[in-house]
Amino acid sequence: MFLYHLPIILSIVLLMGAQVNFFFNSVFDKSAKKHNRFIYFIIFGLLDYLYLVIPVSPIISLILPLLFVFSIAQSYTVEYKTKFTFSILYCVLTSLANFSSLYIFYTLDSVDFNFAPVNEQDQIANTKALLLGCMIMFAIIQIVRLVQT
């Protein structure tokens, strides 16, 4: 993405950080939070920013989201297996939400999404799909919260 898209990218990083934090607060006990969580959020922000800005190979684009979600899971004092399981669950749910948003945009606008944006219109369409996917994910997190209680 171009440099003048920096405020949008940073907004998406903050939105995704709040969303991941909200998810883990829902599935883990709030008393399981570590006291010094700031470093985990910095790691999350850097990895998420790199994921959104730098085009990477398909293998790395599968591993990187799991890494930045797992970095937030590290800020909780729960078993390692539980952290890993819920990190994978979050990535799967987010993938489903993003695919749903792509499908919605495809059916409404008949837009063909290119995952390696060539021009500014492709970047705007991908950003819209990402933001809609985040909104869908907030609804999914609410459902997870209802099931959890």
Which stretches of the chain are DSSP H helices? 6-27, 38-53, 58-73, 80-109, 120-148
Q: Is 47 helix (H, G, I), strand (E, B) or coil?
A: helix
Domain of 70?
A: 3-148
How many structural domains comprise the chain? 1
The residues, any chain, with a CB within 8 Å of residue 125's CB and separated by 6 or more, are: 105, 111, 113
pTM score, two decimals? 0.84
pLDDT digits (tens, 9 = 90+) for 5-16: 788 888 888 999
Torsion, CA 91, CA 38, CA 18, CA 131, rounded to 10: -70
What is the average per-residue pLDDT within 23-39?
86
What pLDDT digit, counting tens, does each position of 39-73 carry? 999 999 998 888 888 877 878 888 888 998 999 99
